[in-house]
Structure 1
Amino acid sequence: MFLKKYQEKTYFILLVFIAITIPLHVTLNNMAIGLLLVFWFFTGNLFIKIKAVFKNKFFWIFSAVYLIQFLGILYSTDVQDALTKLEKKAGLILLPFLILSLPALKSKQLLALVGSFGLSCLGLLTLALIKLKLSFGDLSKVPQLTEAIDDIIDLHHAYSGLYLVFSIISLTFLLNKNWQILNKIMRSGFILLVIGLYIVLIFLGARMALFISFVLLGLQMLLFTIQTKNYRALILILIIAFIGFSGVLSLPATRQKVTEILLLRGVHHPFTPRLIQWSCAFDILDANQAWLQGVGTGDVKPLLQACYQDKKFWGHLYNYNLHNEFLEEMTRHGLVGLVLLLLTLTFPLVLAIKRTHLLYMYFLLIFTFACITESILNRQKGVIFYAFFNALLAAPLVQNRNEEDTKDVESLQYQRNLQNKI
């Protein structure tokens, strides 16, 4: 019993270590994942754990997006690039394999883990803002503030914005859920953390992240009011939303981005480059007659850069990807790859809604929205974030399903025994 309790604590600490290092250096995060792998191996019951994972439909659904990369190598010209992508995306199969074979976390543990992740994000971005303020004297004088933050933390704002939104939405949900069992100091600490995260999100100025935050905070507001009649949580969300809206309008950098979206037209509109990039996906598939199978795991980049040059689009100077995960996957692996990616997201989403697992629902919506304007799974920072939290939040659904199956078997056995006695 003592050993089991020790193992559970060690497992949770390792998960927190992974969460904290996701926004930090990739090497440090890889080390944290490596420690989890060592823990998984040395805690024994390997056959039982492997059997449990292989019988788990979630594991195969989550792994499908990774496994299709192997098939794409068979018809890739650039095998080296394909192998590099396999290495980057290894977390898509490794983390579900490890996490789904171990016990699901409790709600309070999730609060602590997401809080640690959010604190790591807050610390990293706050240090970047302090450094910029010391250099320029006033953050409003920093040219291209968003890109300046990216350079300091060595992390694109598509990912840091995604991290911040997930932390804000998850913490507001978990804080409300665990409100009664938290003392005043912990409540105040988590509230300050959420507000701090939203403030740095405003300074970051990632448009899609801000949009997602407003949409999902509104959804939270509606669901909290309907389901729990918890007006305290409603007031908290309203305060956070008000801070966000006021901040967006008050800061010159974010106010300019909103103005550009509303007022600019044609080639000057900020979404115009996206439309050019997205059109290249269809041009590549059409030119190579690869709508069904795609052009291969390693061949998208050169074809895409050639398309940019044909359209006289400056994206080839920066090796831009498609900035849309769905189109990226379709270009690489055709309609088969697109269907697998959609299945990976929609099947768990429907199940989460059906079983009212709202936190998992929020996560899937956040990730899906982010995939519309960014190729999130092109970098390890996106892969590990998705694979880690996706497996952690899906685990309760798997565990509950197993408990229901066990109860059904026990009930059937009881009925048979009763009939035999009669």
Structure 2
Amino acid sequence: MLTKIIFLNAAKAQKMKAMFLQNDGLANKISYWHLVLFLLTLSFDGFYSQVVLISFVVHTLIHAKRNDWNNLLRKEVFVLASVFFLTVMCTIYSSNQREAFRLLSRQSAILIFPLVLFLNRIDLRKCTKPLLLAFSFVSVLVVFYLYVDALRIIRYNHLPLSTLIKPAFLNHNFSEPIGMHATYLSLYLALSLASILYYGTSTRRPLIRTLYFFSACVLLVGLIQLESRATLIALLLLLFFVAPFFLKDKKQRGLIGISVLFVAALATVIVFAGSFRTRFLSEMKEDLSENSVATSIADSRMQRWALATDLIKKSPLIGYGAGDEVDLLKEQYFNHKLYDSYLNKLNAHNQYISFLLTGGALALTIYLYTLFWGLRLAVKAKNFLFISFVVLIAVVSVSENILSRNKGIFFYGFFFSLFVCAHCKRKTASVEYESAKQTGNLTVHSYVSIDNV
């Protein structure tokens, strides 16, 4: 017993060093800080994150060993990159080759992330937690910045403070200063909130718990300000139906309390703030209506989905090819007098329908299999944050073409690859631990190797 206590205490100290790769080689340290810098820049102009990604790829190729290349033949790599290969296939018979290659260029990140993370020697088991926390606290700072910018504008124009909850500072208008689509920023904040709640409820230090709680409140307020209905629905599903089944009892109590606070805050805002009530109730009802609303300029999603469904019926098996979605829909919009959608060149705003238009039933099946495969892996590993990521992607895919824009592609490609790669390395470490246990060669490293950070 005493020996085990000594091992566990030593393992805790070893784990703290391992989290920041203090005992690792120089190449792995550089890889780690590349990933940190990538996450720090992800919420801002795409130029910065792309430069960091290119640098990380070059660094990985330079330090890759002969045996490392065998990792690229793993099944996980092909499943993670399946969406990219799907777009390649659909590009062949596209009638708009120019747009198809643009989409292919953007989605190349879905191929690059699994390749580079499985090729790189960095142990993602050790740094998943600090990476997620770095991403989360940057998200908190982003929300702070957006509120400071909004308050600066209100003060400059001598507007009442209540203007902050008016349409001029909600949804896309709130995220506009950093040039991000409100839904994609909401995705970032939702995963950040899940990470902060998960790690915050497990710490025993009062000061750190306070910091986590304050950060969670900031992210929660930011999510409500952004008004992404799909993201908020996904978050409710996570807090009420996922967290109680995949977290320990102590963490359950903390997250259930936060869930109640979240619902109470959201309900209060909807009831007492007219702009939020319009967005979450009236506009949502209009968006799901099949008929045009006389008082609304915008066309409902349901109308666009109905027109897209008519197109799908004409080519249900292979679709129309990559890059053709907007052109096909524009013609339908014009013929059915959806002029707002026509002028703004809107896509289907549904990733599942988008795949049906692009590659038919085959494309949708591959995408659904990828999500199911990821969810099954996450549930089997009892990884709450991995489950949270898959649920967010699956739910938001109902209302957005999440894999058509760089911010959505980077979010999907990086975090999916990160969770899967960390899971694979953790599984390998568990096998090594059991082997060491049976042979009697148990060391402090063996304890650290199976720790789920």
Same fold per TM (> 0.5)? yes
C-alpha distance in 2 between matches for 1:241 and 1:111:
27
Aligned counterpart, 1:243: 265
Structure 1: unaligned runs, 5 residues or longer:
414-422
**SS state at 1:90 partner:** helix
**SS state at 1:373 partner:** coil
C-alpha distance in 1 between matches for 2:247 and 2:381:
19
Please tell me whether residue 49 in structure 1 is matched to residue 74 in structure 2: no
Contact residue 124 and residue 425 of structure 2 kept, 8 A: no
Aligned counterpart, 2:95: 77
C-alpha distance in 2 between matches for 1:111 and 1:404:
18
Aligned counterpart, 1:355: 381
Aligned counterpart, 2:356: 330
Please tell me whether residue 118 in structure 1 is matched to residue 136 in structure 2: yes
Query: How many Å apart are 1:14 and its aligned residue?
Result: 1.3
Aligned counterpart, 2:178: 153
**SS state at 2:377 partner:** helix
Query: How many Å apart are 1:120 and its aligned residue?
Result: 2.6
Please tell me whether residue 14 in structure 1 is matched to residue 14 in structure 2: no
**SS state at 2:64 partner:** coil
**SS state at 1:343 partner:** helix
C-alpha distance in 2 between matches for 1:369 and 1:313:
26
Q: Percentage identity across aligned positions?
A: 19
* Change in 2 beyond 3 A, CA 1:188/1:229: closer
Please tell me whether residue 205 in structure 1 is matched to residue 227 in structure 2: yes
Alignment counterpart, residue 52 of structure 2, candidates 32, 39, 49? 32
C-alpha distance in 2 between matches for 1:393 and 1:247:
34
C-alpha distance in 1 between matches for 2:433 and 2:166:
63
* Change in 2 beyond 3 A, CA 1:317/1:298: same
Aligned counterpart, 2:146: 128
**Superposition pairs for residues 232-271 of structure 1, below 5 Å?**
232-260=254-282, 266-268=291-293
Query: How many Å apart are 1:408 and its aligned residue?
Result: 9.3
Read off the aligned partner of 1:57 and give its amino acid letter. K
Read off the aligned partner of 2:133 and give its amino acid letter. G
Query: How many Å apart are 1:19 and its aligned residue?
Result: 1.1
Aligned counterpart, 1:309: 334
Give a deviation string over 1:38-64, Cα, whole Å, max 9, x none.
Answer: 22122231x32221121x211100111
Give a deviation string over 1:323-382, Cα, whole Å, max 9, x none.
Answer: 011111111011111111111110121122123122211110111101011000000110
* Change in 2 beyond 3 A, CA 1:142/1:284: closer
Greater mean alpha carbon deviation, residues 25-34 or residues 235-244 = 235-244
**SS state at 1:322 partner:** coil
Query: How many Å apart are 1:80 and its aligned residue?
Result: 1.0
Give a deviation string over 1:361-405, Cα, whole Å, max 9, x none.
Answer: 111011110101100000011000111111111123212443466
C-alpha distance in 2 between matches for 1:294 and 1:405:
44
Question: Could you tell me the TM-score, scaled by structure 1's length?
Answer: 0.86
Read off the aligned partner of 2:180 and give its amino acid letter. L
Query: How many Å apart are 1:96 and its aligned residue?
Result: 0.9
Query: How many Å apart are 1:4 and its aligned residue?
Result: 3.7
C-alpha distance in 2 between matches for 1:241 and 1:112:
29
C-alpha distance in 1 between matches for 2:321 and 2:285:
40
Structure 2: unaligned runs, 5 residues or longer:
1-20, 440-453
C-alpha distance in 1 between matches for 2:70 and 2:284:
54
Alignment counterpart, residue 274 of structure 1, candidates 284, 293, 301? 301
Read off the aligned partner of 1:130 and give its amino acid letter. V
Aligned counterpart, 2:165: 140
* Change in 2 beyond 3 A, CA 1:258/1:48: same
* Change in 2 beyond 3 A, CA 1:305/1:261: closer
Give a deviation string over 1:205-264, Cα, whole Å, max 9, x none.
Answer: 222222222221112552367755753444344334433443444443222223315776
C-alpha distance in 1 between matches for 2:399 and 2:415:
21
C-alpha distance in 2 between matches for 1:103 and 1:319:
42
Read off the aligned partner of 1:170 and give its amino acid letter. S
Query: How many Å apart are 1:15 and its aligned residue?
Result: 1.1
Greater mean alpha carbon deviation, residues 153-162 or residues 97-106 = 97-106
C-alpha distance in 1 between matches for 2:123 and 2:271:
41
C-alpha distance in 1 between matches for 2:271 and 2:140:
22
C-alpha distance in 1 between matches for 2:258 and 2:166:
32
**Superposition pairs for residues 330-409 of structure 1, below 5 Å?**
330-403=356-429
C-alpha distance in 2 between matches for 1:406 and 1:106:
14
**Superposition pairs for residues 153-172 of structure 1, below 5 Å?**
153-172=178-197
Query: How many Å apart are 1:114 and its aligned residue?
Result: 2.1
Query: How many Å apart are 1:94 and its aligned residue?
Result: 0.1
* Change in 2 beyond 3 A, CA 1:134/1:335: same
**SS state at 2:25 partner:** helix
Contact residue 367 and residue 386 of structure 1 kept, 8 A: yes
Query: How many Å apart are 1:2 and its aligned residue?
Result: 8.5
- Cα RMSD (Å): 3.0
Contact residue 200 and residue 209 of structure 2 kept, 8 A: yes
* Change in 2 beyond 3 A, CA 1:10/1:176: farther
C-alpha distance in 1 between matches for 2:85 and 2:285:
44
**SS state at 1:377 partner:** coil
C-alpha distance in 2 between matches for 1:263 and 1:389:
33
* Change in 2 beyond 3 A, CA 1:408/1:139: closer
C-alpha distance in 1 between matches for 2:68 and 2:311:
43
**SS state at 2:292 partner:** helix
**SS state at 2:318 partner:** coil
Please tell me whether residue 286 in structure 1 is matched to residue 285 in structure 2: no
Read off the aligned partner of 1:157 and give its amino acid letter. A
C-alpha distance in 2 between matches for 1:112 and 1:249:
38
* Change in 2 beyond 3 A, CA 1:195/1:124: same
C-alpha distance in 2 between matches for 1:195 and 1:347:
33
C-alpha distance in 2 between matches for 1:78 and 1:385:
26
C-alpha distance in 2 between matches for 1:112 and 1:247:
33
**SS state at 2:403 partner:** helix
C-alpha distance in 2 between matches for 1:121 and 1:62:
25
